[in-house]
């Protein structure tokens, strides 16, 4: 009598569970102990993908090509003797499709700043598999630790404008687990806001002078304008 089959083990022997388009992966399915011949069937979401017969104790190898989003998901294999009912199922392996990121956008709520002001910069890549890692630069020098975002949201940093040298060109870069897919953002420059502190006292002084002139004219009416009007009658 054939030895009773155990639940087979499904193992990834080539590739990764995080896959990209056109990638090949190989799965191994083997039931130990078991008496050959054994039929191994690979399933994806309970739909048969392929089947192999093994006349010895070597594993069944299934090679897949990820050619569309429908090729990712949960896989299992089944081991059974020919002409027998039932069978044993393996553990599951779940493939996830990795998508390349899009060019990130660097922005700020304000484009003007002055010395002594706090400003923010945000970097956001709209498309691409999470997590996404962002890094900020001024010129060629990075200005913050890298920020890894687990959600679809922008990475934000806070800057203090301390001198005119802080008005250079800023950029950020983004990458994820997709191979060779680092993308750089547009450049962003803060412009120096006009300092109104010197002009304000002048405006206030001119306003006070005008007010005094109006008051003086109003006070002069009873003494000059009214007597002249009566003299002309």
What gap in Å lies between CA 226 and CA 222, rounded to an integer? 6
Q: Beta strands 188-189 and 169-175: pairing type? A: antiparallel
Asked whether residue 56 falls in the same domain as residue 136, the answer is no
Q: Considering 97, 119, 142, which residue would you say is the last residue of a domain?
A: 97
Which phi and psi (to 5°) does residue 170 adopt? -105, 145
114 and 183 part of one domain: yes
Q: Which one of 192, 211, 228 terminates a domain?
A: 192
* Inside any domain, residue 128: yes
Q: Are residues 60 and 85 in the same domain?
A: yes
Per-residue pLDDT, averaged over 102-130, amounts to 94
State residue 83's pLDDT score: 67
Q: Per-residue pLDDT averaged across 91-113, rounded?
A: 95
**Structural domain range at position 125:** 105-192
pLDDT digits (tens, 9 = 90+) for 171-213: 999 999 998 899 999 999 998 887 655 555 556 777 788 888 8
Instruction: Tell me the backbone φ, ψ of residue 106, rounded to 5 degrees.
Output: -100, 130
What is the C-alpha separation between 201 and 28, in angstroms, rounded? 82
Q: Based on the domain organization, do 28 and 53 belong to the same domain?
A: yes
125 and 143 both lie in a single domain: yes
Phi then psi for 209, rounded to 5 degrees?
A: -65, -45
Lookup: tokens for 56: 């010895």
Q: Are residues 126 and 176 in the same domain?
A: yes
Residue 233 in this model has a pLDDT that exceeds 80: no
Are residue 40 and residue 77 in the same domain, yes or no?
yes
Per-residue confidence band for 167, with pLDDT thresholds at 50, 70 and 90 = confident
Q: Is residue 220 part of a domain?
A: no
Q: In the numeric block, which tokens belong to residue 130?
A: 């999470």
Per-residue pLDDT, 2: 57
Please indicate, yes or no, whether residues 118 and 87 belong to a single structural domain of this protein: no
Q: Are residues 93 and 123 in the same domain?
A: no
Residue 38 included in any domain: yes
Q: Which pLDDT score is estimated for 226?
A: 60
Looking at residue 211, what is its pLDDT?
80
73, 62, 61: which is closest to 97 by C-alpha?
Answer: 73
CA–CA separation, 190 and 138 (whole Å): 12
User: Which of 198, 123, 196, 195 lies closest to 159, judged by CA?
Assistant: 123
Domain-located, residue 198: no
Output 140-146 pairs: Cβ under 8 A, ≥24 positions apart: 143/170
Residues 112, 184 within the same domain:
yes
Q: Please check whether residue 207 lies inside any domain of the structure.
A: no
Is the distance from CB of 136 to CB of 170 less than 8 angstroms?
Answer: yes
- For residues 232 and 162, the model is more confident at 162
Q: Tally the domains of the chain.
A: 2
In a domain, 17, yes or no: yes
- pLDDT interval class at 215 (50, 70, 90): confident
Q: Is the peptide bond before 33 cis (omega within 30 degrees of 0)?
A: yes
Range 20-41 average pLDDT = 90
**What pLDDT score was predicted for residue 209?**
84
Is 15 found in the same domain as 92?
yes
> Do 217 and 225 meet the contact criterion of CB atoms below 8 Å apart?
no
CATH of the domain at 85: 2.60.40.10
> Which 8-state DSSP code applies to residue 16?
-
Q: Are residues 169 and 109 in the same domain?
A: yes
Average of per-residue pLDDT across 101-127: 94
Binned at pLDDT 50, 70 and 90, residue 138 comes out as very high
Last residue of a domain, one of 71, 97, 123: 97
Mean pLDDT score across all residues of the chain:
88
Comparing 23-32, 113-122, 175-184, 186-195, the range with the smallest average pLDDT is 186-195
Do 65 and 75 touch, CB atoms closer than 8 A? Answer: no
Q: Is residue 219 part of a domain?
A: no
The residue assigned the tokens 């020919």 is 82
Q: Tokens in use for 201?
A: 């006292």
The verdict on residue 209 lying in a domain is no
């Amino acid at each position: 009598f054939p030895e009773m089959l155990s639940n087979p083990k499904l193992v990834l022997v080539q590739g990764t569970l995080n896959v990209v388009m056109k990638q090949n992966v190989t799965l191994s399915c083997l039931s130990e102990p078991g008496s050959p011949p054994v039929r191994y069937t690979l399933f994806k979401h309970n739909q048969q993908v392929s089947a192999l017969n093994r006349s010895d104790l070597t594993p069944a190898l299934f090679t897949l090509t990820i050619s569309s989003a429908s090729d990712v998901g949960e896989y299992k294999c089944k081991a059974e003797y020919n002409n027998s009912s039932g069978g044993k199922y393996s553990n599951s392996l779940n493939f996830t499709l990795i998508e390349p990121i899009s060019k990130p956008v660097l922005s700020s709520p304000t484009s003007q700043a002055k010395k002594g002001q706090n400003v923010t910069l945000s970097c956001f890549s709209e498309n691409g598999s999470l997590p996404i890692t962002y890094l900020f630069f001024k010129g060629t020098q990075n200005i913050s630790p890298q920020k890894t975002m687990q959600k679809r949201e922008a990475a934000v940093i806070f800057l203090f404008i301390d001198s005119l040298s802080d008005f250079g060109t800023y950029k950020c870069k983004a990458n994820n687990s997709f191979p060779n897919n680092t993308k750089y953002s547009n450049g962003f420059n803060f412009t120096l806001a006009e300092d109104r502190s010197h002009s304000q006292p002048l405006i206030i002084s001119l306003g006070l002078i005008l007010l005094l002139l109006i008051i003086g004219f109003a006070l002069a009416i009873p003494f000059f304008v009214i007597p002249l009007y009566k003299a002309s009658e």
